[in-house]
Structure 1
Amino acid sequence: MAPLIELSGIRKRYPGGEQDVEVLHGIDLRIEAGEFVAIMGSSGSGKSTLMHILGCLDRASEGDYRFAGRDVGELDHQALAWLRREMFGFVFQSYHLISTASAWENVALPAIYAGLSRDQRRQRAQRLLTDLGLGDRLDHRPWQLSGGQQQRVSIARALMNGGRVILADEPTGALDSVSGEAVMTQLQALAEAGHTVIVITHDADVAAHADRVVELHDGRIVADTRRRPARRPGADAPDDLSPPEESRVPDAGEVGEAVTMALRSLRANWLRTLLTLLGIVIGVGAVVVMLAIGQGAKQDVVARIGDMGTNLLVIRPDRGQQRVADGVIATLVPADADALRELPNVRAAVPEIAGSVTARANGQDVTTSVKAVSEDYPVLRDWRPESGIFFSRVDQDRYAPVAVIGRTVREKLFGDGDALGQFILLDSIPFQVIGVMSAQGATNWGDDQDDVVFVPLSTGTLRLFGQNYLRSITLAVDDVAHIDATEQAAVELLTQRHGTEDVRVFNMASLLDMVSDTQNTLTMLLGSIAAISLLVGGIGVMNIMLVSVTERIHEIGIRMATGARQRNILQQFLTEAVVVSALGGVIGVALGVAVGLLLTLFGLPILFSVPVAVAAFLCAAVIGLVFGFAPALKAARLNPVEALSNE
């Protein structure tokens, strides 16, 4: 059978300016399964470099490395990670424990990447720690453990996935003599149990525990001494080193563990997390508030235009025409309204003359507006009397001196008394009140719609205004879909009647569309401004994640040494970026809603939209994914050896 480990002509060079520095000079070494080997040498002899190559943490510059007969140089990153995870267990001089994780979580780290469930990991870690005398230290953090206890935790971690080959780099270097002797006794017990144990040391007393001592000097093997016969391996060397086919899509367990580790990391650096959240929170909150303001303003404007009627065509004289008294343009006459009423798709055609008058009753004088209109006015505006009646066609034909007053005029002239049947003087001309209109409130521009008096058009033109020219004719159409055709027909009819095109038409449906488009543009503008702040928050996420990667290079090295694939590292840091961004998105949505509700107290129209809130949250998560990718990729591409050496 092929030896478990076989090195042939291994050389390792590092860049050194003009000339590379060679640390290992043609190492040839064979290690059988089940051997307890000590590689001994002074500082700088290249023993740690050799261990890194043996443990697949680094690659040789030249030479062949075969593990169980398979050329390690042919393995890609994923296969090397699988080899470290399934075959090797590392025990380092400085322990290399993750400070934010408990003892059992540090031990269970390799099993995360092996796909074990949390319960399975905890049970196995508890058993290993108990066997090593740390059953009462499961939930202690590394800083709560002594050096010897931390080293035992690292031994338990090396055994978590089986640890066929235990690689111990100066395992007693940071320990007192008693703790060091205890650690070596445990390593010797592992060798007796059938594990292949390779100890890197400069101490001859440590090397004395091994069955075989390989001495290294200046990157060359100078002695290879066997002190005891090779032990019987606990298991045959593996025949196949091909890692199993793995899905590129992480399963639910991996995602859950990534989220758990992300939350732990974010909690450990809560101040930095808070600052990162702030940018996302402000960005998402701004998007929610800005779009709510835009949508609210749009709804308010559209509602106001809708109150005026979206099926209306308002025809006014062209101001370029000749003017007459009181500023009324001599263009439209009541007969035009009668002609327009006969057009197809026209439900009503209401002529109107308006002006200001002094109304007097019960010894009270008020200045109000008077509108001389036809009997169809209530149908046009959907505004009817709350008491009494509106004047009829008969009143129009008879030039009847009757009036219908608004609620404000009634309150000013009659108080709480009954106005029906009473007489009021409009510019000293008596009119009998036959109706009181229902309350309408203020107009879009703040005028009181109830401060008005309606009189028949015929009576108004004869007795109040003294002229027959109209201020406007308003058409109500039956089918808004054909309102443009009706508008064109009206213009053509009036042009034919007047001999020239001397009117302007305001299409309320077109106006509504135009205002809606304008408001949509303004809303998008507001949203874009808010999105810029969200983008700035995303840049903040990227900066913080780059800092996080830089600060946690050592942790990344530990994870890689325990079998983490590149995609595991990538996934972890991406998850952290997405979690912090998603958390910021949730808080930002809540903050945006709170600010929006506060603004409503000041009378600002606000309209929240669930799709907008969901989209803002998703944008935050996507920003975390996009801006966290570069830092996560940087972390995933780190060299395990360089990462481990970064304290």
Structure 2
Amino acid sequence: MVSTVPDAATTVPLISLRGIRKHFGVEGSGQAPVTVLHGIDLEIRAGEFVAVVGSSGSGKSTLMNILGCLDRASEGCYRFQGQDVAQLDADARAWLRREAFGFVFQGYHLIASESAAENVEMPSIYAGLSKERRIQRAQALLVRLGLQGRLEHRPNQLSGGQQQRVSIARALMNGGSIILADEPTGALDSHSGAEVMALLGELADAGHTIILITHDRGVAAQARRIIEIGDGRIVSDTAAHGTAGLKPGLLTMPDLAESHKGSTSSGRTWFAEVAEAARSAWRGMCMSPMRTCLTLLGIVIGVASVIVMLAIGEGARRKVVEQMGTMGTAILYMGSKAPSTGGPAGQLTEEDLAAVRELAEIRRVMPVIGDPVTVRYGKADKQIYVFAASEEMPLVHHWKLAQGRYYTGAEDRDLAPLVVLGHKAHAHFFPDTPNPLGTQLVINNSAFEVIGVMSERGADSGAQDYDDMVFIPYQSGRARVYQTQTQPDYVVVEAMASEQVHDAEKAIRQLLLARHGGREDFGIGNAAARIQAEAATRESMAVMLGLIAAVSLVVGGIGVMNVMLMTVRERTREIGIRMAVGARQRDILRQFLTEASMVTLVGGVMGLLAGLMIGATLIVLGVPAVFSVRAMLGAFACAVATGLFFGYMPAKTAARLDPVRALAGE
């Protein structure tokens, strides 16, 4: 009867190298490349405890980097459980480092800002293990390795032997089927070194494949197979003619080309990945508080200046619009004139005005008669512009009363002798009487009762000062003051909306041409066009202020980019460590993009608060400022977008680092 159980000689080797060569050198530099490995042929089976021994410069570390998928061979074939590693993309190699290998380095390569437990957890973060499970596993491993009282200690609070134990625990976090130990005792005293070798022996006994890189033959002698390498070639190999009796490996390797795809999707959400990156980013910010504060300052100034500038611009615009609203932002002026073809001036009749009122584009039509007339009160008299118009005057000019009331349409039709004073007219005739209501003014020998006082308005672009006028009903004015007047001096027409001013002007012209037999014996002045142009200018100025302020936000973003580039350079070794434990390029990219976004996020919040405080101070000081929620959200969003934009290049630089060079970086 023939056994169907494959023995060690017939199973596919865990690792198989054929003709592996490695050249170093920059193409196009004009210098010949340096060959470090010269045609390495090697097989390692699951469960072996192998020591690769050689002097410094012999190529053993380069061989380890290739075995651990940190580097790629220049020539030859590397098969992992029968699959060609050269065919794997960067993510698949990262998956292999994460799931199959565990690295133990001479320099420990622990991240200084993370605790012992957090360093151990790192491989499982990229493997997608839930937070609760990875914390439990990391703590269990550290307790198993005798570090139960050191879980929250940072690397600088641990001895060399303790740091190496943390490194071994990290290598075992995802199973550690294959432990790649590069000079694990090189930086340790003899006692700590013996403890580490004892641990590796225990792991080998438990079925882990151990590949030990060392120059110390005494350390190598503790392995069960010794491979000596010199000048990039295998000098000797103590492998027995068979490997029967080896414990089977712990790894069942699926198709590498497919298995890494979606490997973080199960049990690990996008939110969890971002949350973990944000935690690391926040800790990184806290490690360099002065630099972080200076970086934040640029973002804070940018966001605050955008908010304050836009608030001031909006306040100025609204104030101008409010002031111009009293002049009417949808107003046309209409009057009689002689036609350009010759002949007498036309007449604007009551019927004409009634027809204009019926147009769909027209809201109000207000005829006006006005001239300087002698006005007396007691012994005081003055030539005052007496403004005779309908009761719609405050509505047409968006003008409020300071005291009393305005006359009504019924009072106008009844020829009621009523008068409303302008602000300056009130001050002139009643300097010592705050409330002149009920008193009598004599206008052109007719007595008029004061029933109201208008609020202060100001002159309209060089025209007669409205505050120096008095206002009487139109019909009463014709009957009592302007008896010889046969038609209004001019007519104020208010369009339905400022956007319809030009349509209203066109409709009035067509109507009056039809009513006047085709004679253009009238004129229409578009005052709203000038007012709208001025408002548009104010809006443009507000936008310009916002753009100027945005420049400071861009400058802050450039500061973020500079700081992130410096951070990448300072944390090159950390990036290499993360790659060694299985981080993909997109994991590194996300890490540093999150850090850039975190800086701008915190700076944006602080900028919002600073902008509100500055704006509130300005309002207290009397500066017109109007805060817009949309502007604040826009400034905040721009800050975050700036962080992403300017942080992308440093993050991309970090993601593209070569793992071997990154690990060797300072």
Is TM (by shorter chain) over 0.5?
yes
Shift of 1:189: 1.1
d(CA) in 1 for partners of 2:328 and 2:203?
A: 89
Partner residue, 1:646? 665
Consecutive unaligned residues of structure 2, counting only runs of 5 or more, are: 1-10, 359-363
Contact 1:405–1:433 (Cα < 8 Å) also in 2 = no
Residues 473-519 of structure 1: per-residue CA shift (max 9 Å, x gap): 3234678856233442577489989x7767451343x4565445434
**One-letter amino acid matched to 2:105:** F
Q: For 1:7-42, what per-residue CA distance to the aligned partner results, in whole angstroms no more than 9, with x for missing partners?
A: 111111111752111111111111111111111111
Question: Which residue in 2 is equivalent to 1:506?
Answer: 526
Q: Does 1:454 align with 2:471?
A: yes
* Counterpart contact for 2:345–2:521, Cα < 8 Å: no
1:336 to 348, 362, 373: 348
Offset from partner CA, 1:352-377 (integer Å, 9 cap, x none): 324486x55345x4767432414556
Distance 2:328 2:249 in 1: 89
Counterpart Cα distance in 2 of 1:121 and 1:55: 23
TM-score scaled by length of structure 1: 0.86
For 2:252, the aligned partner's letter is: P
User: Contact 1:40–1:202 at 8 Å: present in 2 too?
Assistant: yes
CA deviation after TM superposition for structure 1 residue 460, in Å:
7.4
SS in 2 for 1:557: helix
Is 1:7–2:26 an aligned residue pair? Answer: no
Per-residue deviation, 1:105: 0.4
Q: Distance in 2 between matches of 1:386 and 1:229?
A: 111
Quick one: structure 1 residues 36 and 492, their matched pair in 2 at CA, closer, same or farther if it must change by over 3 Å? same
Counterpart among 385, 389, 404 of residue 370 in structure 1: 385
CA 1:368 to 1:173, structure 2 compared with 1: closer, same or farther past 3 Å? Answer: farther
Distance 1:590 1:366, change over 3 A: farther
Q: 1:22 to 1:304 in 2, by over 3 A?
A: same
Aligned to 1:534: 553
For 2:458, the aligned partner's letter is T
Counterpart residue number, 2:304: 285
Counterparts of 2:193 and 2:496, CA distance in 1: 98
Q: How many angstroms apart in 2 are the aligned matches of 1:299 and 1:403?
A: 31
Q: Which residue of 2 aligns with 1:327?
A: none
Describe the shift of the 1:461–1:240 C-alpha distance in structure 2 as closer, same or farther (beyond 3 A).
closer
Q: Return 183-192 or 273-282, whichever deviates more.
A: 273-282
Do residues 485 (structure 1) and 506 (structure 2) align?
A: yes
Q: Distance in 2 between matches of 1:572 and 1:459?
A: 80
State how far apart, in whole Å, the 2-side matches of 1:79 and 1:367 are. 96
The change in CA–CA distance for 1:262 and 1:387 in structure 2 (over 3 A counts) is closer
Give the % identical residues.
45
Structure 2 CA distance for aligned equivalents of residues 418 and 282 of structure 1 = 51
Give the secondary structure class of the aligned counterpart of 1:151.
Answer: helix
Shift of 1:593: 2.6
Q: 1:187 to 1:518 in 2, by over 3 A?
A: same
Residue 36 (structure 1) aligns with: 49
Bigger mean CA offset, 235-244 vs 206-215: 235-244
Report if aligned partners of 2:65, 2:660 keep a CA contact under 8 Å in 1.
yes
Give the direction of change, closer, same or farther, for the CA distance of 1:337–1:150 in structure 2 (3 Å limit): farther
Q: Which residue of 2 aligns with 1:235?
A: 249
Of 64-73 and 416-425, the range deviating more from structure 2: 416-425
Q: Aligned runs of 1:299-448 on 2, under 5 Å?
A: 299-315=318-334, 336=348, 338=350, 340-345=352-357, 347-355=364-372, 360-363=376-379, 365=380, 369-376=384-391, 378=393, 380-381=396-397, 386=404, 392-393=412-413, 395=415, 403-406=419-422, 409-410=425-426, 413-414=429-430, 415-416=432-433, 419=436, 422-424=439-441, 430-443=445-458
Match of residue 82 from structure 1 = 95
Task: Rate the CA distance shift 1:341–1:198 in 2: closer, same or farther, 3 A.
Answer: same
2:151 corresponds to which residue? 138
Give secondary structure in 2 for the equivalent of 1:342. Answer: helix
Cα deviation, residue 599, structure 1: 2.5
Q: C-alpha offsets along residues 51-77 of structure 1, whole Å, 9 cap, x if unaligned?
A: 111111111111111111111111111
Aligned equivalent of 1:595, options 614, 637, 642: 614
Offset of residue 179 of structure 1: 0.9
Closer, same or farther: CA 56–217 of 1 in aligned 2, 3 Å: same
Distance 2:117 2:96 in 1: 23
Give the 3-state SS of the residue equivalent to 2:235 in structure 1: strand
Contact 1:340 1:349 (C-alpha < 8 Å) held by counterparts? no
> Aligned equivalents of 2:120 and 2:181: distance in 1?
16
2:69 paired residue among 41, 50, 56:
56
* Residues 621 and 459 of structure 1: CA distance in aligned 2, closer, same or farther (over 3 Å): closer
Residues 1:261 and 2:274 are matched in the alignment: no
Instruction: After superposing the two structures, state which structure 1 stretch, 6-15 or 448-457, moved more.
Output: 448-457
Amino acid corresponding to residue 123 of structure 1 in structure 2: Q
CA, structure 1 residues 392+59, in 2 after alignment: closer, same or farther (shift >3 Å)?
Answer: closer
In structure 2, the residue corresponding to 1:370 is in which secondary structure?
Answer: strand
Aligned residue number for residue 325 of structure 1:
none
Q: Mark the runs of 5 or more structure 1 residues left unpaired by the alignment.
A: 322-330
Distance 1:478 1:272 in 2: 58
Alpha-carbon distance in structure 2 between the residues aligned to 1:421 and 1:29: 115
Look up the SS of the partner of 2:653 in the other structure: helix
Give the match's secondary structure for 2:354. Answer: coil
Deviations 1:496-546 (A, max 9, x none): 89x7767451343x4565445434433333333233332232222222211
More moved, 264-273 vs 92-101: 264-273
Q: Deviations over 1:522-577 (max 9, x none)?
A: 33333332333322322222222111111111101000000111111111111112
8 Å CA contact retained: 2:579, 2:659 = yes
Q: Equivalent residue for 2:6?
A: none
Q: What is the SS of the residue equivalent to 2:370?
A: strand
The structure-2 alpha-carbon separation of the partners of 1:293 and 1:110, relative to structure 1 and needing over 3 Å to count, comes to same
Amino acid at match of 2:506: A
Provide the C-alpha distance between the structure 2 equivalents of 1:271 and 1:489, rounded to a whole number of angstroms.
72
| Cα distance in 2 for residues equivalent to 1:600 and 1:492 | 52
Once the 2 structures are TM-superposed, how far is the Cα of residue 156 of structure 1 from its aligned partner?
0.5
Q: For 1:60, what is the secondary structure of its paired residue?
A: coil
CA distance in 2, matches of 1:248, 1:356: 89
TM-score by length of 2: 0.84
CA contact (8 A) 1:158 1:166 kept: yes
Q: Is the partner of 1:105 in helix, strand or coil?
A: helix
Change in CA separation of 1:560 and 1:460 when aligned onto 2, cut-off 3 Å: same
393 and 496 in structure 1: CA distance in 2 versus 1, 3 angstrom threshold: farther
Structure 1 Cα separation of the partners of residues 13 and 534 of structure 2: 82
> Take 2:212 and 2:434, find their aligned partners in 1: how far apart are those partners?
108
Are residues 503 and 223 of structure 1, via their aligned partners in 2, closer, same or farther at CA, if it must alter by over 3 Å? same
Distance 1:589 1:425 in 2: 59
In 2, are the aligned partners of 1:24 and 1:46 still within 8 Å (CA)? Answer: yes
1:639, CA displacement in angstroms? 0.9
Inter-partner Cα distance in structure 2 for 1:439 and 1:298:
24
Specify whether residues 566 and 177 from structure 1 end up closer, same or farther in structure 2 by C-alpha distance, changes over 3 A only. Answer: same
AA matched with 2:377: A
In the alignment, does 2:169 pair up with 1:156?
Answer: yes
What CA distance in whole angstroms lies between the structure 2 residues aligned with 1:77 and 1:137?
Answer: 35
SS in 1 for 2:262: coil
1:625-646 CA-to-partner distances (Å, cap 9, x unmatched) read 2222221111111111111011
Bigger shift: residues 180-189 or 528-537: 528-537
Counterpart residue number, 1:207: 220
Q: Which moved more, 1:523-532 or 1:629-638?
A: 523-532
Aligned residues: 627
1:581 aligns with 2:597: no
